[in-house]
Amino acid sequence: MADVALPEVKLNLYNVKSPIQVKVVENRIVTKESSPNIVRHLVFDVSGTQLEGNVIAGQSVGVLTPGEDQNGKPHKLRLYSMASPSRGEGGQSHLISTTVKRTIEEIDGKLYTGVASNYLCDLQPGDPVLLTGPSGRRFLLPEDANAYQYLFFATGTGVAPFRGMIQDLDLSKTSATLAFGCAYRTDVLYADEFDPLARDQASFHFLKAISREDRRTDGSKAYVHTLLEDAPEAVRTQVAAKNTLIYICGLKGMEWGIYKTLLQQGHSSYFDPKNDEGVAWLKSVASGAAKITEEDFKTYVKPGPRLFEEVY
Ligand SMILES: Cc1cc2nc3c(=O)[nH]c(=O)nc-3n(C[C@H](O)[C@H](O)[C@H](O)COP(=O)(O)OP(=O)(O)OC[C@H]3O[C@@H](n4cnc5c(N)ncnc54)[C@H](O)[C@@H]3O)c2cc1C
């Protein structure tokens, strides 16, 4: 397939040297109270700034945390994906939103809390925050978005861009599947939006893999990539369709299970061979002769024009 035409987007209207100050208007928790994880939905008012109307679903903004790191240098910029649709949160162009997970780690009994995520999660409505961006020019819906079908794979906050993209799509003209993975049922993000949408729109499917709770029919754990194996018929048809695009966002490493499953299922058209050896490898994979290893995958093929990925 030829390259998918992507829209022209605005980039770096604000940068680290000249960030823009905006205000937080909402900060609410989106994981359930009993969850061991904390993820929050933040809305920023960008009225009167160049960000208004210029940040689209799939792009990110940079956040500058006040203060200094342990070397006395200003904290480095951290990127956060937009969770709002391209027309703005709730259709209001002056509002943009993101989904932030508080990062926290204990190493040798010492507690480390992530700088930017905890700063953001602590902000109150009315608080100022310095942003840069927008950034990102490839992880976007195509220009002619409703001419394609979509399979969105997300783990955790990787769902943010898909929340915006799904709102950008006209589901009376196209179809989309959101395959979401997380550890506990209490961590399913935006289920209050996606569950009713899946109920009301036959063209939208919402699949969940809760790795520490769900078991598949053979007793094994459910992960985001096993959703491809256990998918309902409508989703299987979608994966096989020539106009389907696959987007992957979330935890680094999640992409490999999805790639392997696609190859095992014979969907090699999502990949491009790197060279003649890649062509031969894809053929042997298709005939069942080659064992699919991550090393061979990296050596011989790369994601093709129908695959989009943003992992962090
Ligand atoms: C394109 C892109 C989009 C992104 N979108 C999102 C998004 O939508 N939502 C989201 O939540 N994140 C997103 N991220 C990730 C985000 O940018 C940050 O990396 C993340 O929030 C962690 O940043 P932090 O400043 O909180 O943690 P950091 O301060 O950078 O720390 C990172 C981790 O290390 C631990 N740590 C800190 N200091 C130490 C130490 N001395 N020793 C050992 N461990 C330590 C922290 O607890 C934390 O778990 C995105 C990243 C990219 C690249």
Q: How far is CA 232 from CA 67, 141, 181, 205, 254, in A?
A: 50, 24, 17, 9, 21
Residue 3: the pLDDT is 83
CB contact at 8 A, 238 and 151: yes
Residue 258: the pLDDT is 97
Q: How far is the CA of 10 from the centre of ligand 1 (A)?
A: 25
How far apart, in whole angstroms, are the C-alpha atoms of residue 26 and residue 9? 26
Nearest atom of ligand 1 to the alpha carbon of 135: 1
Q: Does domain 145-311 have CATH number 3.40.640.10?
A: no
**Cα 21-24-28 angle, rounded to 5 deg:** 155
Does pTM surpass 0.75? yes
How far apart, in whole angstroms, are the C-alpha atoms of residue 310 and residue 153? 10
Q: How far is the CA of 98 from the centre of ligand 1 (A)?
A: 14
For residue 1, the Cα-to-chain-centroid distance in whole angstroms is: 23
Strand intervals (E) in 171-285 = 176-182, 204-210, 244-250, 271-273
Low-confidence ranges of the chain (pLDDT < 70): 1
Residue 1: the pLDDT is 67
287 CB burial (10 A radius; 0-12, 13-18, 19+)? exposed
Q: How far is the CA of 199 from the centre of ligand 1 (A)?
A: 34
Closest to 246 (Cα-Cα) out of 125, 136, 132, 165: 165
- Numbered ranges of CATH 2.40.30.10 in the chain: 20-135
Q: How far is CA 211 from CA 156, 171, 288, in A?
A: 12, 29, 29
List, in order, residues 6 or more apart from 61 with CB less than 8 Å away: 51, 55, 79, 80, 82, 96, 98, 131, 132, 133, 134, 135
Residue 96: the pLDDT is 98
Q: Which protein residue's CA is at the shortest distance from atom 46 of ligand 1?
A: 114
pLDDT 10s digits, 168-179: 999 999 999 999
- Numbered ranges of CATH 3.40.50.80 in the chain: 145-311
How far apart, in whole angstroms, are the C-alpha atoms of residue 178 and residue 162? 8
Nearest atom of ligand 1 to the alpha carbon of 107: 43
For residue 119, the Cα-to-chain-centroid distance in whole angstroms is: 22
Residue 289: the pLDDT is 87
Q: How far is the CA of 117 from the centre of ligand 1 (A)?
A: 7
Q: Which residues surround ligand 1 with Cβ inside 6 Å? A: 60, 78-81, 98-101, 103-105, 107, 112-118, 157, 160, 310, 312
Q: How many CB atoms lie under 10 A from the CB of residue 291?
A: 8
How far apart, in whole angstroms, are the C-alpha atoms of residue 27 and residue 293? 43
- Report residue 258 as tokens: 């999805």
Q: Which protein residue's CA is at the shortest distance from atom 21 of ligand 1?
A: 117
How far apart, in whole angstroms, are the C-alpha atoms of residue 257 and residue 164? 25
Q: How far is CA 308 from CA 11, 139, 242, in A?
A: 19, 6, 15
Q: How far is CA 267 from CA 169, 241, 270, 306, in A?
A: 24, 10, 6, 11
CATH superfamily assigned to domain 20-135: Translation factors (2.40.30.10)
Q: How far is the CA of 190 from the centre of ligand 1 (A)?
A: 21
